[in-house]
Amino acid sequence: MPQETGYDPDLGNKFVFVTGGVMSGLGKGITAASLGRLLTNAGFDVTAVKVDPYLNVDAGTMNPYQHGEVYVLKDGGEVDLDLGNYERFLDVDMTSDHNVTTGKVYQEVIERERAGDYLGKTVQVIPHVTDDIKRRIREAAEGTDVCIVEIGGTVGDIEGMPYLEALRQFSHEQDEEDLLFTHVTLVPNSKNGEQKTKPTQHSVKELRSIGLQPDILVGRNPEKLADDVREKIALFCDVPTEAVFSNPDVEDIYHVPLVLEDEGLDEYVMERLAIAEDALPAAERSTEWRDIVTRDATGEVDVALVGKYALEDAYISIHESLKHAGLEKQVDVNVQWVDADEMGDEHEERLRTADGVVVPGGFGARGTAGKLDAVRYAREHDVPFLGLCLGFQLAVVEHARNVLGLEGAHSAEIDQDTPHPVIDLLPEQYDLEDLGGTMRLGAHVTEIDEGTLAERVYGATECTERHRHRYEVNPEYIERLTADDLTFSGHAGNRMEIVEREDHPFFLGTQFHPEFRSRPSRASPPFVGFLDAVMERADVAAGTEVTQ
Least distance to ligand GLN, CB of residue 26, Å: 29
Active site residues: 389, 513, 515
Give the interface size with ligand GLN as a residue count (CB under 6 A). 10
Question: Is residue 361 near ligand GLN by the rule CB under 6 A?
Answer: yes
Shortest CA distance to 171 belongs to which of 134, 136, 196?
134
Q: Which of 50, 104, 469, 517 binds ligand GLN (CB under 6 A)?
A: 469
Burial 416-440 (b: 16+ CB within 10 A, else e): eebebbbbbbeeeeeeeeeeeeebb
Burial of 369 (0-12, 13-18, 19+ CB in 10 A): middle
Shortest CA distance to 69 belongs to which of 257, 386, 308?
308
Site for ligand GLN in 372-431 (CB under 6 A): 389-390, 413
Q: Which is nearer to ligand GLN, 438 or 464 (CB)?
A: 438
69 annotated binding-site participant: no
Which among 20-28, 370-378, 469-477, 490-498 is the span making contact with ligand GLN, rule CB under 6 A? Answer: 469-477
Q: Which of 363, 382, 412, 415 binds ligand GLN (CB under 6 A)?
A: 363
311 annotated binding-site participant: no
Q: Which is nearer to ligand GLN, 35 or 318 (CB)?
A: 318
Nearest position to ligand GLN, beta carbon:
361
In whole angstroms, what is the distance from residue 501 CA to residue 440 CA? 26
Terminal-residue alpha carbon distance, the chain: 52
In whole angstroms, what is the distance from residue 507 CA to residue 383 CA? 8
Least distance to ligand GLN, CB of residue 468, Å: 5
Residues ≥6 apart with Cβ < 8 Å to 163: 51, 53, 133, 151
Shortest CA distance to 309 belongs to which of 337, 275, 289, 272?
337
510 annotated binding-site participant: no
Question: Is residue 468 near ligand GLN by the rule CB under 6 A?
Answer: yes
Question: Is residue 50 near ligand GLN by the rule CB under 6 A?
Answer: no
Q: Which is nearer to ligand GLN, 224 or 470 (CB)?
A: 470
Question: Is residue 295 near ligand GLN by the rule CB under 6 A?
Answer: no
In whole angstroms, what is the distance from residue 370 CA to residue 375 CA? 9
Helix or strand holding residue 490 (H, E): strand 486-492
Q: Are 507 and 379 in contact (CB under 8 A)?
A: yes
Which among 18-26, 121-129, 239-247, 467-475 is the span making contact with ligand GLN, rule CB under 6 A? Answer: 467-475
In whole angstroms, what is the distance from residue 381 CA to residue 384 CA? 9
451 annotated binding-site participant: no
Q: Which is nearer to ligand GLN, 68 or 361 (CB)?
A: 361
Q: Which of 196, 202, 255, 470 binds ligand GLN (CB under 6 A)?
A: 470
Question: Is residue 78 near ligand GLN by the rule CB under 6 A?
Answer: no
Least distance to ligand GLN, CB of residue 528, Å: 21
390 annotated binding-site participant: yes
In whole angstroms, what is the distance from residue 160 CA to residue 162 CA? 6
Q: Are 461 and 450 in contact (CB under 8 A)?
A: yes
Question: Is residue 516 near ligand GLN by the rule CB under 6 A?
Answer: no
Which among 126-134, 204-212, 360-368, 495-503 is the span making contact with ligand GLN, rule CB under 6 A? Answer: 360-368
Shortest CA distance to 24 belongs to which of 195, 167, 291, 220?
220
Q: How many helices (H) and strands (E) does the chain have?
A: 19, 21
36 annotated binding-site participant: no
Q: Which is nearer to ligand GLN, 359 or 535 (CB)?
A: 359
391 annotated binding-site participant: yes
- CA 383, chain centre distance (Å): 28
Q: 196 φ, ψ to 5°?
A: -105, 135
Which among 20-28, 124-132, 454-462, 466-474 is the span making contact with ligand GLN, rule CB under 6 A? Answer: 466-474
In whole angstroms, what is the distance from residue 337 CA to residue 308 CA? 10
Q: Which is nearer to ligand GLN, 347 or 468 (CB)?
A: 468
Q: Which of 76, 307, 362, 520 binds ligand GLN (CB under 6 A)?
A: 362
Question: Is residue 471 near ligand GLN by the rule CB under 6 A?
Answer: yes
28 annotated binding-site participant: yes
Which among 43-51, 101-109, 134-142, 464-472 is the span making contact with ligand GLN, rule CB under 6 A? Answer: 464-472
Least distance to ligand GLN, CB of residue 393, Å: 6
416 annotated binding-site participant: no
- Look at phi and psi of residue 99 and say left if phi exceeds 0, alpha if psi is from -120 to 50, else beta: beta
Q: Strand pairing of 179-186 and 14-20?
A: parallel
> What's the length of the chain?
548
29 annotated binding-site participant: yes
Known binding residues for ATP are 25-30, 82, 250
Q: Which residues bind ligand GLN (CB under 6 A)?
A: 361-363, 389-390, 413, 468-471
Known binding residues for UTP are 24, 196-201, 232
Known binding residues for Mg(2+) are 82, 150
